[in-house]
């Protein structure tokens, strides 16, 4: 993708489509005013006649503007000028991209950048805009037959700026936005694949492919015999009922010397039936999304490699299926984890924590600065936060604050939840060091407390993405979250000036 910044006035830009904005009460943006002045008050006339709507996110394509070099105009409603900020900027750009995604264009010019969005850096304007573009054109049709919808290929995007000083940061934002969008696409694709395709072996195979593309990326795959030698009995208890072999996937990005690595651990249950504690059949098809933690950490490391950041990042993915069979783990079984702690498995559908605890123990060998696990872990989290924010639970205020900051900057929002001894006590067991569930109340927190038992003396955070990783209903599909949040978090650890 070729990103070009332009100091030309909107009317002078030669392009297939020019995007401009109009605020409420016919308060014209900078580019809209220029077009209005040279085109016999076309914007004002359209506003008075009711042919354009200035409500935020509304769009209208015009082909008849005079004295301009663009083939067509896309007029976007910006809403109230006084409340136009970062979130509104992102929203109108998403609306604009949705409006043009099916039009055959070789290039377009976005002049919404000229309109003020308080407290929004040029870098983030570029990044949010490009993320909106790639989000608008995403489609998953790999498994469909017949004629497939092909999006027009955009060769060049022109971005109107008010000063030459803005150019470098805008283009850097666009470049990073494209990298993060690639990571999100990978996460979406992996999440949307059915479980008969996206198996643990498939995830391992795809990870190896990425290592051939990026020189600073290496991959190591551990099979079940290796997991047994490592005494990952908690992890192996989950895969006991499946013929599909489990895999532990390691991915390492080395972008810096003499620097501690950051570690991301992603839950990779490629299908979760609940095991012997089997789930209800309604919407069980969506349990293919139980590997979205794995998908997002893989997508994140690819985004970091694509940006070529001067950081070290490792990704650990414990991948397996959770199925019922004659060999499946039974409720009441007790296993010894890699850490040596014993676990009474009261519910085999609380399996994510059983694979994560061994993966977190394994990750200690990398002596990370921070370790963050990402998992579609609990339905209780969806009850608590809905589908809007990812939950953060951490033993480090510093780390949780950094994640909150990354969520705000990336517009991939999250929220800090409590942890404490009072919740941890719910995991007490009469027969083992702990139970794998803590009862009905505070389920997302007790799940985090369980993981916390394996992360002593580490700066660790747990992200529960059960409410944000996918959507249900007519628009069912993976969201790619929280790739933007995690990418921003790692970006913040680098020396890149944004």
Decide the pairing of beta strands 73-79 and 59-62: antiparallel
Task: Report the DSSP beta bridge partners of residue 474.
Answer: none
Give the SS3 label for residue 115.
coil
Please list, in sequence order, all residues whose beta carbon lies within 8 angstroms of the beta carbon of residue 104, skipping any fewer than 6 positions away: 152
123's enclosing H/E stretch is helix 122-137
Between the CA of residue 145 and those of 28, 64, 102, 153, 474, what are the distances in Å?
A: 46, 39, 20, 22, 20
Task: Collapse the DSSP code of 451 into the 3-class scheme (helix H, G, I; strand E, B; otherwise coil) and give the result.
Answer: helix
Closest by Cα among 319, 351, 481 to 407 = 481
User: Hey, how many other C-beta atoms are within 10 angstroms of the C-beta on 152?
Assistant: 15
CA 276 to chain centre: 31
Q: Which of 72, 188, 353, 459 is catalytic?
A: 353
Count of Cβ atoms closer than 10 Å to residue 181 Cβ: 26
- Burial classification of residue 183, based on how many CB atoms lie within 10 Å of its CB (0-12 exposed, 13-18 middle, 19 or more buried): buried
As a three-state string, the secondary structure of 314-370 is: EEEEEEEEECCCCCCCCCCEEEECCCCCEEEECCCCCCHHHHHHHHHHHHHHHCCCC
Q: Is residue 288 annotated as a catalytic residue, yes or no? A: no
Q: What are phi and psi of 329, to 5 degrees?
A: -65, 140
- Active-site annotation holder among 8, 121, 279, 416: 279
In three state form, how does the secondary structure of 148-171 look? CCCCCCCCEEEEECCCHHHHHHHH
* Residue whose entry in the numeric block shows the structure tokens 């006035």: 9
Residue 365 a catalytic site member: no
The three-state secondary structure class of 379 is helix
Residue 197 to residue 200: CA distance in whole angstroms: 9
CA-CA distance, 45 to 64, in Å (whole number)? 13
Peptide bond into 482 cis (omega under 30): yes
Q: Classify the C-alpha dihedral 71-72-78-82 as positive or negative.
A: positive
CA pair distance 361, 9, nearest whole angstrom: 58
Antiparallel, parallel or unpaired: β 107-110 and 18-23: parallel
Q: Which residues are catalytic?
A: 279, 353
């Amino acid at each position: 993708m070729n990103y070009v910044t332009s100091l030309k006035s909107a009317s002078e830009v030669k392009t297939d489509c020019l995007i401009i904005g109009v605020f409420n009460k016919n308060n014209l943006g900078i580019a809209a005013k220029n077009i209005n002045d040279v085109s016999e008050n076309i914007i004002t006339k359209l506003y008075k006649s009711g042919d354009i709507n200035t409500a935020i996110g509304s769009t209208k394509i015009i082909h008849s503007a005079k004295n301009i070099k663009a083939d067509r105009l896309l007029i976007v409603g910006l809403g109230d000028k006084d409340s136009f900020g970062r979130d509104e900027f992102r929203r109108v750009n998403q609306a604009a991209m949705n409006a043009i995604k099916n039009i055959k264009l070789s290039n377009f010019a976005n002049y919404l950048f000229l309109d003020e969005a308080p407290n929004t850096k040029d870098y983030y304007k570029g990044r949010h805009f490009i993320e909106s573009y790639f989000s608008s054109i995403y489609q998953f049709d790999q498994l469909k037959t017949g004629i497939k919808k092909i999006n027009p290929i955009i060769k060049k995007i022109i971005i109107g700026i008010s000063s030459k000083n803005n150019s470098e940061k805008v283009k850097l934002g666009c470049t990073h936005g494209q990298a993060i969008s690639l990571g999100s696409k990978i996460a979406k694709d992996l999440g949307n694949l059915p479980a008969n395709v996206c198996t643990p072996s498939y995830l391992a195979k795809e990870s190896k492919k990425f290592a051939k593309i990026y020189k600073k990326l290496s991959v190591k795959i551990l099979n079940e015999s290796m997991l047994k030698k490592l005494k990952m009995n908690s992890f192996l208890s989950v895969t006991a009922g499946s013929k599909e072999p489990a895999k532990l996937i390691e991915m390492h990005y080395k972008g810096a010397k003499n620097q501690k690595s950051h570690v991301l651990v992603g839950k990779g249950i490629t299908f979760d039936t609940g095991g012997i504690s089997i789930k209800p059949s309604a919407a069980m098809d969506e349990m293919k999304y139980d590997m979205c933690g794995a998908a997002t950490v893989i997508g994140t490391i690819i985004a970091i490699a694509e940006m070529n950041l001067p950081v070290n990042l490792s990704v650990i993915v414990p991948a397996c299926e959770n199925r019922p069979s004659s060999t499946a783990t039974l409720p009441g079984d007790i296993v010894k984890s890699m850490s040596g702690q014993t676990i009474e498995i009261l519910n085999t559908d609380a399996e994510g924590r059983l694979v994560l605890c061994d993966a977190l123990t394994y990750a200690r060998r990398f002596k990370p600065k921070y370790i963050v696990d990402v998992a579609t872990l609990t339905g209780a989290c969806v009850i608590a936060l809905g589908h809007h924010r990812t939950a953060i639970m951490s033993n480090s205020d510093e780390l949780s604050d950094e994640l909150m900051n990354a969520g705000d900057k990336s517009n991939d929002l999250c929220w800090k939840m409590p942890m404490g001894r009072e919740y941890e006590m719910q995991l007490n067991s009469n027969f083992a060091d702990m139970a794998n569930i803590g009862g009905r109340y505070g389920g997302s927190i007790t799940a985090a407390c369980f993981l916390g038992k394996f992360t002593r003396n580490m700066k660790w955070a747990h992200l529960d993405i059960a409410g944000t990783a996918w959507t249900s209903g007519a628009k069912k599909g993976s969201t790619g979250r929280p790739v933007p949040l995690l990418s921003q978090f790692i970006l913040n650890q680098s020396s890149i000036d944004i």
